[in-house]
Amino acid sequence: MKTSRTLISLLALWLAGPAMVSVYAAPPQYTFTTIDPPAELGAFASAFGNNNAGVVVGNFVTVDESLAGFIVQKGIFTEVTVPGAAPDNLGALNDVNDHGDAVGSFSDGDTGIGHSFIRSKDGTFTVLPDAAPDAVVTEATGINNQGDVVGFYLDASFAAHGFILSKGVLTTYNYPGGTRTLLTHINDRGQITGIRRDSDGVRRGFVLQGGVTTNIEVPGALNTRAHSINNLGQVVGYYDDSDLVAHGFLFKDGVYTTIDFPDAADTALLDINDRGEIAGTYDEFSHGLVATPGK
């Protein structure tokens, strides 16, 4: 577990933190599947994205203790690394659209600067422009079927800012009054999930559309992280209880529902497709998961 703590992705590190909660509607019946790499490749996997074709992407720690990305398709686990990347991040993947285009980040082997990329279905890598001239990290966290990309970057002072890359135009987004902003996912309707940290130090989720924000905050929780929104407007993310244990949530039709991997130490839900299938991680970002709703 120490290895996973040191090599966990930057996105996961920025999402970590405490809370307390209320009880919500009983969760629907889900079938849970664990995603782990083959032992000869490594361990400590987290599933950050899934599309409507059942493709799952994420990251894991390799046997030589590097952080790499993965794609799982039709049960086959494929390691993803960006040529020339540094071992601390060889190419962690955060999302995948229905065309099979996946986004993520890697660390430059020469400069150590973090850059974003798109990996196309055929395995071709395209490095995206840094979100700002002084950015020390640019991390793409979401991509929709139109090819719009969202994410966040750290400036020279390590302050976090959201960004949107659409039709070649890159726009910085800072939540009004927030001290840090992360954009985490974008659906085909242009709805964007995000997380901001306010001046009181609390993390709160939101949905951004057309410049208008809607608050996503689990009742009673100190911190709420909204991590993904599908084309039906369903939001998933996670929060922490009074014992600082993370729990996944689904926000659907105005109702927050807690969804946890059975008997896990903690759960984080990170993406949801239009069939309601959820990707995520449990036990301190050490195992990937897919939660499939019952009929």
Residue 67 CB burial class (10 angstroms; 0-12, 13-18, ≥19):
buried
Q: Which residues contact 28 (CB under 8 A, 6 or more apart)?
A: 257, 293, 294
User: What are residue 126's DSSP bridge partners?
Assistant: 118
Measure the CA dihedral 38/32/18/196, to 10°. 90
Measure the CA dihedral 216/219/221/226, to 10°. -20
Place of tokens 């049960």: 75
Return d(Cα 190, Cα 149) in angstroms, integer. Answer: 10
Q: pLDDT per residue over 182-220, tens digit each?
A: 999 999 999 999 999 999 999 999 999 999 999 999 998
Return d(Cα 115, Cα 79) in angstroms, integer. Answer: 19
Q: How many domains does the chain have?
A: 1
- Amino acid (one-letter) located at 185: H
pLDDT at residue 2, as a whole number = 35
User: What are residue 171's DSSP bridge partners?
Assistant: 164
Place of tokens 């966990």: 8
Q: What is the pTM of this model?
A: 0.92
Using only C-alpha atoms, the chain has a radius of gyration, in whole angstroms, of 17
Q: Where are the alpha helices (H) located in the chain, listed in sequence order?
A: 2-7, 10-15
Tokens of 121: 């279905």
Q: Which residues contact 196 (CB under 8 A, 6 or more apart)?
A: 175, 178, 179, 180, 181, 182, 203, 204, 206
Q: pLDDT per residue over 27-58, tens digit each?
A: 668 999 999 999 999 999 999 999 999 999 99
Closest among 111, 185, 127 to 152, alpha carbons compared: 185
State how far the alpha carbon of 44 is from the alpha carbons of 7, 19, 100, 114, 290, in Å. Answer: 9, 25, 24, 21, 15
pLDDT at residue 122, as a whole number = 95
State how far the alpha carbon of 261 is from the alpha carbons of 34, 47, 281, 290, in Å. Answer: 9, 13, 9, 9
Q: Which helix (H) or strand (E) holds 163?
A: strand 160-166
The CATH number of the domain where 98 resides is what? 2.120.10.30
Residues spanned by the domain of 36:
2-293
Q: What are the pLDDT tens digits along the chain (295 aa)?
A: 333 334 556 666 555 543 333 334 456 689 999 999 999 999 999 999 999 999 999 999 999 999 999 999 999 999 999 999 999 999 999 999 999 999 999 999 999 999 999 999 999 999 999 999 999 999 999 999 999 999 999 999 999 999 999 999 999 999 999 999 999 999 999 999 999 999 999 999 999 999 999 999 999 898 999 999 999 999 999 998 878 889 999 999 999 999 999 999 999 999 999 999 999 999 999 999 999 998 6
Return d(Cα 152, Cα 137) in angstroms, integer. Answer: 8
Closest among 256, 204, 254, 271 to 50, alpha carbons compared: 271
pLDDT at residue 214, as a whole number = 97
